[in-house]
Amino acid sequence: MSGSLAAFRNQRGDELRKLAEEHLQHDLNQSDRDTLKSAGSKVSTHATIGSLLGLGFGVYFAFRLRTMRLAYFRAFRAAEKPVEVRFADGRTEAVPDITQQLAPSKWGDAATYFFFSLGGLFFGGEVGFLTGTASASNTITRDPESRARIETAFKNYRIDVMKREIQSLEGKSGGPFDITFDARGILTWAQEDIIVHVSSQHFAVSFSLAFHFLLYISICCSHIFRTSERSKAQFHRANIHIMLLQILWLAAVAVAQESSQQVIETLTGSNRRLTGDDATPTLHLSDFSASIIATGTMSGVSTSTGAINATASMSSSENPYTQLVGASRTTAVNGTMTASTTTAAPVNTQPCNNYPEFCTRRYSNITEVCAHNSPFVVKNNAGSNQALPVLQQLNDGVRMLQGQAHIVNGTLYYCHTSCDLLNAGTVEDYLTTVTQWVAAHPFDVITIIFGNADYEQTGSDGKPLVTSSNFVAPIEASGLKQYIYQPPKTAMTLEDWPTLGELIISGKRVITFIDYNFDTTAVPYMLWEFYNIWETPYSPTNFDFPCTLGRPEGISDEKRDGMMYIANHNLNVEVSIAGASLLIPNTVELNVTNGLNGTGSLGLMSNQCTVDHGRPPNFLLVDYYNIGSFNGSVFEVAAQANNVTYNRKCCGTESLACVLAKPTVTYLGLVVAVVVAMIL
C-alpha cells in the first residue's frame, strides 16, 4: 500500500483511535457512551438489514427478468417461421435461421444478476442508512444535556484531528504552519504569506468522509490478503476504531441537523415587474373613506364558562389574557339555534396562534401563512394547489384560508377554473370541517377569503348572480357564523383592528373577506378584501416577486400604507387544457419558492417587502406549504417576520423518492464504501 495515504499507516490509525478513545472517556460519561453505542448499533442494524433486503430484491428481480427472457426465447423458437422467400420470377432465397443468435447468453445472465444485485444493494443500503440515521438522531438528541456533551466532545475531537493533520504536513510544505481557532470554530492556518480560513465543521466532515472511505477499503483488503492470526487481531482492533469514529461522526451529523441555522439574504435595488399576465382582471379603486356599518361592540367573556358575555367591557384596565384558559365552556350548536352545549376540552393549550407573544398584538400586526386555494387537494390532479387537507393545514399552522368558489345549480362549490377540471366539494362541507377545528381550538384566530370566481355572471335582471349573500347559507349551515367577527367599519385601518387576545376573549375568532361583489349591507361581517387588504402582483409565472401594488389599483400610498397586505408567492406555469389557458402550480421549483433564502424564495420576498414598506406582509400566500427548503420553511419565514422562534413540527415527512433523488455526499460516500467492501 502507498505510504502517502494516512489511512493505510498503522501508526496513524492507532494515533486517531487513541485520540477518539480519549475524547470518549474524558468528555463523555458512561450514559453518553451507551447512548452513542446504541445509536451506532441502530445505524449498523438498519444499514445491514436494508442492504440484505435490497440485495435479495435485486436477485429476485434479476431472476424474474431472465426467466421472462428465456420464456420469450422458447416461444419464439417454437413458433412457425418462414424458411424461404419466393420472388415473382420464380427465384427463391432461403431465410436464415437466427434462433440460436437470440438465445439468452451466460454473459447476459451474469450481467443482469450483477447489476441488479449491485443496484439493490445500493438502494437497500441507502434506505437502511436513512432510517438508521433518523432513529439514531432521535436517540442522540433525546436528552438535551447529553446532546450538548456529545457536541462538545466531537468539536474537541475534530479540532485535535485537524491540528494533527495540518501539523503532519509541515515537513512537506517547506515551512511551519500557524494554526488557530476562533470562537466561532473557524480554523485559520498560515504559511509564509498565505492565510487560509476554513470552516472547521465543513473541513472536519470532508476529512472524516475521506478517511472513512479509505479506511473501509484498506480494512477489506487487509481482511482478504492477510490470513495470519496477528492480521485478524489487527482487523478486529481496526473495526473497533472505525466504530468509535463512526459514533462521533454520527453524533456530529445529528447535532448539526438539530442546530443548523439558515441566513436570509436581502435583495437591494429597484424592483422588476412580472412578465406574466395576472389571472384576474385589473381592479381600479379610488381612495375611499371608512364607513360605520356595525352598531354592536366586541363583548367580553364570562370567566366561569367562557361564553359570550353581553355586559362585559373590553376597556377594563385589568389584563384580560389570564382568562385564555379556564373552566369548561359553552357554545351555541350552530349560528341559528339558541340551544347550547358544553364543549369538549380544547385540543390546543398554547394561546394566540401558537405564540403567546401575539396575545397583545393587533390582528393587523402579525404575519401568517395563507394556503392558496386551500380546498384544492385532489390527488393526481394538476389543478391542485395543496397536498394536505384543511385540517392538517390548520394543525400545521396555516391561519389564512383562501379558495375559489363557483355556483352550480344554486350550490357553491370549490372548483379550480371549472368544476369539470377540479371539484373539491361544496363550500358548506369545507366550512363544516373548518368549524369543527375552530370549535376545538378556542385560542386560535383564523382568516378566510372567499374567492368569487363567478363575479362576472349576471341574472336576467342584470344584477350580479353571485354576491356575499350567496355565502350566507353555507356559513350558517356549517355553524361557522357564531365564530365570525363583525368589524365596526367596512374599511379597517391597521389601528382599527383588535388584538388577538381580544378576539379570543370575545369568542369571535374568524375574520371573513370576499374578493368581488361584496354586499356589506346584507352581510356586514363579510368585508370587501380590497377595502382592507392590498396584494402584490397575482399569479406570477417567474421568479421575480416584487412587492409592488397589484390589487387594487388607484389608491394613494397613504391609503395603501394604512391597510394590511398579502404577499402573493405562488409560482405558476401556464398550460392549455381543452383550449383553455390555465395557471397551475410550478411544483418543480417548490423547494426554492417556499424556501428560506435565495433568489425567488419566500424568505427573500418577505425581507424585501419589509424593506419596501417598513413592515412585513400580513399574509404569505403559498402553494404546497408543506414543501420547501426544509419541512416548515414557510412557517420559519413567518416566524422571522414576527420576531418569534419557530420550533414546531410540521408537515409530515418528505417522501423517500425526494430524498433519494438528492443524495448527499455523506450518504453516497458511506454507501459506496459499503459496496466496495462487500465486492472486495
Active site residues: 372, 416
SS (H, E, C) 88-120: CCCCEEECCCCCHHHCCCHHHHHHHHHHHHHHH
Q: What burial letters (b/e) apply to 94-128, b meaning 16+ CB within 10 Å?
A: eeeeeeeeeeeeeeebeebbeebbbbbbbbbbbbb
Question: Measuring CA to CA, which residue among 594, 280, 582 is closest to residue 422?
Answer: 582
Q: Are 196 and 189 in contact, with CB atoms under 8 Å apart?
A: yes
Query: How distant is the alpha carbon of residue 31 from its chain centre?
Result: 34
Read out DSSP for 520-556?
TTT-TTEEEHHHHEEESSSS--SS----S--BSBS--
Instruction: Pull the grid cell for residue 155.
Output: 468539536
Instruction: Pull the grid cell for residue 270.
Output: 429597484
Question: Measuring CA to CA, which residue among 384, 389, 382, 387 is closest to residue 404?
Answer: 384
Q: Is 44 helix (H, G, I), strand (E, B) or coil?
A: helix
Burial of 39 (0-12, 13-18, 19+ CB in 10 A): buried
Return the bridge partners of 564, or none: 533
Distance between CA 532 and CA 285 in Å, rounded? 12
Unique residue bearing C-alpha cell 405558476: 572
Alpha-carbon torsion 275, 278, 282, 285, what sign? negative
* Residue 230 CB contacts under 8 Å (≥ 6 apart), including other chains: none
Phi and psi at residue 67, to the nearest 5°: -65, -40
Distance between CA 174 and CA 194 in Å, rounded? 13
Q: How many residues does the chain have?
A: 680
Question: Measuring CA to CA, which residue among 599, 535, 551, 545 is closest to residue 570?
Answer: 545
